Amino acid sequence: MSEIFKGSFTQQEPIPEEGIAAALEVMRHGRLHRYNVAPDETGETALLEQEFADLTGARYALAVASGGYAMATALRALGVGPGDRVLSNAFTLAPVPGAIASVGAKPVYVGVTEALTLDLDDLEQKAGQADVLLLSHMRGHICDMDRVMEISDASGIAVIEDCAHTMGAAWRGVPSGRHGLIGCYSAQTYKHVNSGEGGFLITDDADVMARAVILSGSYMHYERHKAAPGPEAFERVKYDTPNVSGRMDNLRAAILRPQLRMLPARVTGWNARYRTVEAGLRGTPGLTVIERPEEESIVGSSIQFLLLGWSETHVARVLERCGARGVELKWFGAAEPVGFTSRYDSWHYAPAPPMPATDRILRAIIDMRLPLTFSLEDCAQIARIIRAEVGAVWQEQAAD
């Protein structure tokens, strides 16, 4: 009898008891707004920002409403506006081109490699087309950041890192988000810390952070920020920077603070699950495992593999057969968006010319979440199911 997996791919761990207690305390005193504090009190949001700056090694940190808001704020803080062009990944999720479109700018898409990272040869060719690169570490895959910075520095490009999938990851020991000028992160439920929705922006640049703080809705209360530059930085920009309110509230910050302390243990747990599935998939006919470079320290909260050269019909058969056995796979190759799996040609508000080499890879990408609610035994079972169903459809395809 065939194995059936019974777990949920969307069930997260509960909020830690410390976070629940802190949230209750905020609700009891009622000071939820980011600047509503008692005399001599430092609000939960300001404390969270200090702790996130310490975690990443950044001079400054800002907690905001979402990862998408962080990216749009980063673009605005760099002066990106209507008609400007911004380099970005062709393989990413919709909030990335959405952030670019939200400031009236236009994406210039850069291709993807079979390692699911930015095609740096394509980046080098397109480097003269924009002054900013919004680099998405899509699904946790980090490209050669040394070469990214070489290309960007040589061309005068400011790099914003989208680290929604790489909080806790690193390249050559440098935390994700610390190579570029600005790092942006997400605290959405399916990311590495969970406040339902939320995000962070970090930088070492005082003027960039001063503009970001005012953009987030400081109402000239910037002296209440702790992980921020001194008043002289705000004096330079406060009259020329609009308020686009979006800083995080104290309730969500209270929930997140203990989760930051748990992040290293969570990374270890995700990586154990990732390596279990990876090992179980190796050697499956027709399936390509994504090899991770030694320079990359990963956070394996999801896993991807490729079905290169497969027909649309047979990929759909794999998804159908695995789904019937309880394994929920997502595919980035479908012509129509399904859930979060849209791609560059789905975003009609940000049109782009065809990219055949990238299309070949997008058609092959299969994606799967690995929540910490799965045990290692669950992960081994999931790998067995995928291996069996890919193998069966591979044989069908060979016979057709």
Q: pLDDT, tens digit, for every residue of 342-382?
A: 989 999 999 889 999 999 999 999 999 999 999 999 999 99
Domain ranges of the chain: 17-257, 263-399
Q: What is the pLDDT of residue 150?
A: 98
Task: Check if the beta carbon of residue 59 is closer than 8 Å to that of residue 204.
Answer: yes
CATH architecture under which domain 17-257 falls: 3-Layer(aba) Sandwich (3.40)
263-399 has which CATH code? 3.90.1150.10
Residue 370 backbone dihedrals phi, psi, to 5 degrees: -130, 75
Nearest to 180 by CA among 242, 223, 136: 136
Q: What is the pLDDT of residue 337?
A: 87
Rounded CA-CA distance 64/385 in Å is: 40
Rounded CA-CA distance 36/342 in Å is: 39
For 262-312, what is each residue's pLDDT tens digit? 999 999 999 999 999 999 999 999 999 999 999 999 999 999 999 999 999
Q: What is the pLDDT of residue 4?
A: 97
- Exposure string of 381-399, with b = 16+ CB inside 10 Å and e = fewer, is bbbbbbbbbbeebbeebee
Q: For the packed helices 44-56 and 250-281, what is the interaxial angle rounded to 10 degrees?
A: 40
Half-sphere exposure of 144 (CA within 13 A, CB side): 10
Q: What is the pLDDT of residue 198?
A: 98
Q: What is the pLDDT of residue 400?
A: 76
Q: Which residues of the chain have pLDDT under 50?
A: 1
Fold equal for 17-257 and 263-399:
no
pTM of the model: 0.97
Q: What is the pLDDT of residue 339?
A: 87
Q: What is the pLDDT of residue 340?
A: 87
